[in-house]
Amino acid sequence: MKHLMLAALLLPLTAHADDYMLTIRDHRFQPAELIIPSGTKIKLMIENQDATPEEFDSFSLNREKVIAGHSTATIYIGPLAPGRYPFTGEFHATTAQGVIVAR
Amino acid sequence: MFATAIIVFREVLEASLIIGILAAATRSVPNSRRWLVAGLLAGLAGAGLVAAFTDVIGSLASGIGQEIFNAIVLGIAVLMLAWHNIWMSSHGAALAKNAKSVGRNITDGNSECSILLVIVGLAVLREGSETVLFLYGIAASNDGGQSSMLLGGLIGVLAGIAVGYTLYAGLLRVPMRWFFAATGILVLLLAAGMASQAAHFLIQADLLPSLASPLWDTSAALPESGLPGMLLHSLVGYDSRPAGMQIVFYLTALFAIYIGMKWVARPRKSIHSGKGAA
């Protein structure tokens, strides 16, 4: 396990990921719909402007990450097949909803 | 209130099932109960600390500190579960036959107990910190309805504990001749599932290639948001859309620990020939 992780850290990170940005404000995502290219890995930056923590959670993207209040988190996504991938802010799921559209 | 209960239930469930399995597996190890409670308390304290320093951990390693932290915690847990299972393979039979007298003779019973403490502590720390953050968020907001949401949180905690306890009580009813095989398999699958989760975090942080993402998609038939999917996720590491690398980690951990268990439990010829002569 440890060796595997060390090996992983030494892997050359050749793939260039494009940057995309989401903002959380008043427990809502902006934009609520983010369009990304399909078939390529992207880097998603999520800025939480609220004071309270939020958890970016998506079963369809197989991603989950806690974002502390007033901080920015980085998540790598894809490569995705074309389609719609909903996500929520699990801590405020009634308002914090969005979708990533891969084209 | 209902939504809150489900979120908290999901977090508590995983730790609760791990503790239920480990508590059953070590029931005849002397002093194991005391160590288990110590692990629980240490885990709760750790969860509070991790929650308080979420922003610090998150900003480490240019924004992927949380994934590295989770992968390391999971990696340690996998190693500890592997050690536990291999230790049990060599001592389990003796413990089953004569718990009391063997307990005094097993000099490394204490090391097994400290491993129990670490496994329980890490499980509570990892799942507990998210629960603490979530409940903190509720308590800090001013949009009313907090008391009903906190009540929901409490229901979630209690329901999670109840499921773990049910598994524990059920395992204790398994007849002795199957008991160690049953708990051994459960711990083995638990460890493999955690290895897969560790890979998942390293992929999310872009430290590992995903190989294929997803390798399959069973989210329509068995979604992880439903109770069966949730239980399977916690128990055997079920993932409805796993990356290929997660399966590599899962199978590697599964076979490595299994081979370790078989190796220490291999029949010793002298004992068997002695038995035959008597």
Write down the domain spans for chain A: 14-102
Tokens found for residue B229:
């999917």
Residue ranges of alpha helices (H) inside B205-243 are 227-236
Q: How far apart are the first and last CA of chain B?
A: 66
Task: Give the best residue of B143, B208, B218, B249 to mutate against chain A (max A CB count within 10 A).
Answer: B208
Shortest distance, CA B263 to any CA of chain A (angstroms): 19
Q: Do B204 and A2 touch (CB under 8 A)?
A: no
> Above 60 in pLDDT, residue B155?
yes
Mutate to test the interface with A, among B50, B54, B217 (most CBs of A within 10 A): B54
Query: Do A65 and B141 lie within an 8 Å CB cutoff?
Result: no
Structure tokens at B200: 């998942």
Residues B9-42 pLDDT 10s = 999 999 999 999 999 998 888 888 999 999 999 9
Is the pLDDT score of B274 beyond 60? no
Question: Does the pLDDT at position B53 exceed 80?
Answer: yes
* A89 has pLDDT over 60: yes
**pLDDT at position B275 over 80:** no
The closest alpha carbon to A2, from B189, B64, B75, B201, belongs to: B75
Is residue A5 very low, low, confident or very high in pLDDT (cuts 50, 70, 90)? low
Can you give the pTM of this predicted structure? 0.86
- As a whole number of angstroms, the distance between CA B140 and CA B134 comes to 10
Chain A residues within an 8 Å CB radius of B202: 5, 8
| Whether pLDDT at B278 is above 50 | no
Place of tokens 């502590």: B121
Do the interacting molecules here have an ipTM over 0.85?
Answer: no
pLDDT of B269? 57
Q: Where do runs of H (alpha helix) occur along A29-101?
A: none
A16-75 pLDDT tens trace:
567 999 999 999 999 999 999 999 999 999 999 999 999 999 999 999 999 999 999 999
CB B63 within 8 A of CB A73: yes
Task: State the average pLDDT over residues B161-173.
Answer: 97
The nearest alpha carbon in chain A to B134 belongs to A91
B144: left (phi over 0), alpha (psi -120 to 50) or beta: left
User: Is there a contact between A96 and A56 (Cβ–Cβ < 8 Å)?
Assistant: no
pLDDT (mean) for B177-204: 95
Position B95 scores a pLDDT of 66
Q: What CATH architecture applies to the domain A14-102? A: Sandwich (2.60)
- Mutation target for B interface from A62, A72, A77, A97: give the one with most B CBs within 10 A: A62
Q: Cβ contacts (< 8 Å) between B221 and chain A: which residues?
A: none
Model confidence pLDDT, tens digit, residues B235-256: 999 999 999 999 999 999 999 9
What's residue A2's pLDDT?
Answer: 54
To the nearest whole percent, how much of chain B has pLDDT over 90? 64
How near does any CA of chain A get to the CA of B102, in Å? Answer: 33
Lowest-confidence segment of B127-136, B143-152, B222-231 by average pLDDT: B143-152
CA dist., res. B243 & res. B203, Å (int): 8
What is the average per-residue pLDDT within A86-103?
Answer: 94
Query: Inter-chain contact B59–A71, Cβ cutoff 8 Å?
Result: yes
Residue A100: pLDDT band (50, 70, 90) is very high
For residue B51, is pLDDT > 80? yes
| Contact at CB, B134 and A90, closer than 8 angstroms | yes
Distance from CA of A75 to the nearest CA of B (A): 6
Q: Which pLDDT score is estimated for B145?
A: 75
